[in-house]
Amino acid sequence: MKGLAFVFPGQGSQVVGMGRSFWNDFTIAKRLFEEASDAIHLDVKKLCWDSPIHELTQTQNAQPAILTVSVIAYQVYLQEIGEKPHYAAGHSVGEYAALVCAGVIPFQDAVRLVRQRGVLMQHADPQQVGTMVAVTDIPAQALRKICAEISTDHYPVDIACLNSERQHVVAGHRQAVGHVVKQAERLGAKHTHLNVSAAFHSPMMIPAAEQFPDHLQSLTFADAEWPIISNVTAAPYQSGNSVAEHLQQQLTMPVRWLESMNYMLGHGILEIIEMGPKNVLSTLIRKITTHAAAYSLSQPSDLLSLSNSFERQKTLIRLRKKIFQDLTVKSIIARNYNEDTNAYSQRVTPLFAQLKLAAERINTNDMECSEEELDQSIRICKLILEAKQAPPQEAANLRS
């Protein structure tokens, strides 16, 4: 299994004082704060530490600030622990930090780009009539239907983020968002207003999306050192050539975060580390799955748990055991869609025999299991599901 992924937070994670402890302890943090400041002719350190929260929250300020602190966290992790990921993803503007750390965009270019992105996004809503609200305890399909019934050309509203099975974000004109919230609450939903300055990932960002290519076309995007999951497709970028197109689309399209996390989980990710201020994404990931360990690196003290390889290894063994136990049950009870009875029987009979032996070994308390043995046992479960020809969505649900 390729077990490690990095994720990078978006707007809403900004907090006054972010990055200060990194700056105090690491030379690389001092250098990156200076480079960011030089790139946009603004003291980013002062912005992060001394600005009132309402100023830091303005999107043209929040975006370069969050990007800088997130890249600092990654560089500190690389310096202190030295482990690179197998996958990475970023939530909204966090995707730019993911691209920087994978070598797709130079850091200073990215700082300039998100600053320009923020200016365009703020200008797209000069009267600041847009807002964003997190809505919980309602299915996405029901929320999408409510938005479609209420949204108009003058008062648009739509789903902006699909964060988990239980949490989504709607964005749009304040009046329309208010109506959506009221209807959703009648269905039992709850809501929380987000600390952002515009209606991101919504039709209100169309003016910004139309102008953004002017800023993208001067950049050259390299291929990533490891797969980066795009917010737009919930799948890895195919090449550097697709980056500009997806970054433009991202301004008006929803962040498919739940699908992005499920993609990584389906490709063997067992550890996910959030790089950047606060711990919004790591908290969210714990709500999405119990099959991966979520950590955050927002300050140097977080390195204590991240550098404890013995405890992390114990957690990985425990996670693999849980995955195996869950998949054992589900591979047995899953419906058989294979109409070739003889071929199914010939393939599955020996697999079930192997599964029984594996379960006996793993469930024996006094016997330690290696990662390789657990991975092989998990593989047996997946082969049984393949033999049953379980549909992709059903198989994916079995992994969450």
Q: Catalytic residue numbers?
A: 92, 201
Here the tokens at position 185 are 């609450």
Here the tokens at position 296 are 């955050």
Question: Nearest CA to 92 among 19, 188, 194?
Answer: 194
Residues near 7 by beta carbon (within 8 Å), at least 6 away in sequence: 88, 89, 90, 91, 94, 98, 272, 273, 274, 275, 281, 282, 285
Question: Nearest CA to 259 among 237, 284, 287, 229?
Answer: 229
Strands ordered across the beta sheet of 4-8: 228-229, 87-90, 4-8, 271-275, 293-297
The phi, psi pair for 243, rounded to 5°, reads -65, -50
Number of CB atoms found within 10 A of residue 272's CB: 28
Say how far apart CA 54 and CA 38 lie, in whole Å: 23
How long a stretch of residues is the chain? 400
> In angstroms, what CA-CA distances link 46 with 23, 50, 68, 93?
12, 5, 13, 21
Number of CB atoms found within 10 A of residue 245's CB: 14
Q: HSE (CB half, 13 Å, CA atoms) of 141?
A: 0
> In angstroms, what CA-CA distances link 379 with 3, 261, 262, 355, 383?
15, 20, 18, 10, 6
Here the tokens at position 29 are 């943090």
